Structure 1
Amino acid sequence: MQEGPAPAPDVPSRLGQLADLVADGDVVVLSGAGLSTESGIPDYRGETGRRRRAKPMTYQTFIGSAEARRRYWARSYLGWRHIAQARPNAGHRAVAELQRRGLVTGIITQNVDGLHQAAGARDVIELHGGLDRVLCLGCGRRTPRRLLDERLRAANPGWVARVGEINPDGDAVLSDEEIRAFRVVDCADCGGVLKPDVVFFGENVPPARVRDCYALTERAGLLLVLGSSLAVMSGLRFVRHAHRNGIPVAIVNQGATRGDEYALLTLDAPLGPTLTALVAAL
């Protein structure tokens, strides 16, 4: 009788293999939205994403339409509070602890929520920027999001809206009528258009930031992907780069990813409990 393929190792076995890889140190983490879902922040492509029909704002739409900007800022005015109030979960704390122990030497995140830093991680490269900052497209000045929030509040006295659902980028679903009543403000210095300091869909990550991520990847002993489907090239390229350079890749995610074929090890499991167990095993 011809034997079938050997069964895949169970989760405890794979966790042990992952612990062995991480114990060697020089780990660079590449994290995605799946790491933050346990903090109550939904994603676009994972389980929470599949339950919604959200279409993220694109750079071209934002730049090309004043009405699109009004819609974005009205929805974000309410929705970003959900992001700002989120707290790090066990997965974020585990990554920070691995860095504290000297095992993780770099962190690249596709997330814009700042939760790695809130958990105590240092020198995090925010591949797609951060929602806690605002960029003027006219003069290039960056300012804290809380200052814009104060100005928007002053410009919209008495404006109330009923929030439906919250999207991953702090975008609250509102009615057209509520959006039309919202007033947008421009840069206080030059009157230019304000944009969140994040990379929208259809926008390129700044080249210098990409180069920093490539350089960090090249110095890694292990590239550890956490909570990313790697569906977009902005993250997948670093997995491919590691593979081309003979650097092992391990992926912990709920569900398959576009990078699985390049990985030495994959683990389909919840991030918080798995990373907590990983820290305990080291």
Structure 2
Amino acid sequence: MDQEREVAALRRMIAEARRGVVFTGAGISTESGIPDFRSPTGIWAQMRPIYFHEYVASREARREAWRRKFASEPVMRAAEPNRGHRAVARLVREGRVSAVITQNIDGLHQASGIPEEKVIELHGNGTYAHCLDCRRRYEIDDLRAAFEREGDVHDCHACGGLIKTATISFGQAMPEAAMRRAETEILAADLCIVLGSSLVVYPAAGFPEMAKRNGARLVIVNNEETGLDDIADLVIHRGIGDVMGGAVGVN
């Protein structure tokens, strides 16, 4: 099927849906210049991830985690929502999509204009930090200043707990509230559009399959094949911005 027919098919599915959900992975943000994690040229191919238990147990591991975070900040700060993000935002604004479930930590869905309460972040958010104990929020700029001054990030001023970016690290428990919200949205949806996810990271990747098993139509837009391509109603191996922008009418 050529691109024009694929986009037309997606447009029809969106028009016919009563309640859609969008599920996004790193592929939607690579078009904004943010590198992915799992591809052969991704971040984890260049350095080993720091596991949650290592972060908690070792001050040296925490220093290395913060060094990496601050080194990556210029790229993250420069990133802006792209055509794919803007198309999803329009679907939310028009009431065609009830929620965006994302594996991303970059905050670009919120930056595109989607209300905070409509974005379900399964892997947390890297644009701020919080205390692992009392959950007090800390801003990245303040922590960077302390790191540059002292060579370390201090413990929580309020309770003495460890401060960490508000992301879910390898080995860290998934956020229960977000997982419950995602399941509720998935089970209420009659259309699930997957954008830029390889669908290999579980339990998050189980949500699109859950939607399909529950009777929803499943659309996958991703440059590479995924493990759910065989059960999807529509699979498009093209750029997300072009496909979603074309289907929704966003330049």
TM-score normalised by structure 2 residue count: 0.91
Match of 2:212 among 243, 261, 266: 243
Say if 1:44 and 1:54, in contact at 8 Å, map to a contact too: no
Deviation at 1:46, TM superposition (A): 3.9
Matched residue type, 1:90: R
Say if 1:236 and 1:258, in contact at 8 Å, map to a contact too: no
Deviation at 1:50, TM superposition (A): 8.7
Match of 1:120 among 113, 135, 139: 113
Match of 1:148, SS state, is helix
Correspondence for 1:189:
158
After superposition, the Cα gap between the structure-2 partners of 1:100 and 1:138, relative to the gap in structure 1 and judged at 3 Å, is: closer
Matches within 5 A, 1:15-54: 15-25=7-17, 26-46=19-39, 48-49=41-42, 52-54=45-47
Instruction: Determine which structure has more spread, i.e. the larger CA radius of gyration.
Output: 1
Correspondence for 1:95:
88
Match of 1:224 among 171, 193, 203: 193
Correspondence for 2:72:
79
CA–CA separation in structure 2 for the residues paired with 1:82 and 1:46: 18
Deviation at 1:66, TM superposition (A): 1.5
Matched residue type, 1:257: T
Deviation at 1:53, TM superposition (A): 2.7
Matches within 5 A, 1:271-282: 271-280=240-249
Deviation at 1:146, TM superposition (A): 3.0
TM-score normalised by structure 1 residue count: 0.81
Match of 1:39, SS state, is coil
Match of 2:180, SS state, is helix
Deviation at 1:131, TM superposition (A): 0.9
In structure 1, the gaps of 5 or more residues are: 1-8, 156-181
Match of 1:150, SS state, is helix
Q: Does 1:263 align with 2:240?
A: no
Correspondence for 2:182:
213
Correspondence for 1:136:
131
Deviation at 1:211, TM superposition (A): 0.9
Q: Does 1:145 align with 2:140?
A: yes
Deviation at 1:113, TM superposition (A): 0.3
Number of residue pairs the alignment of both structures matches: 247
CA–CA separation in structure 1 for the residues paired with 2:191 and 2:45: 34
In structure 2, the gaps of 5 or more residues are: none
Match of 1:87, SS state, is coil
Correspondence for 1:168:
none
Say if 1:27 and 1:220, in contact at 8 Å, map to a contact too: yes
> In percent, how many aligned pairs have the same letter?
40
Deviation at 1:276, TM superposition (A): 1.0
Deviation at 1:196, TM superposition (A): 0.8
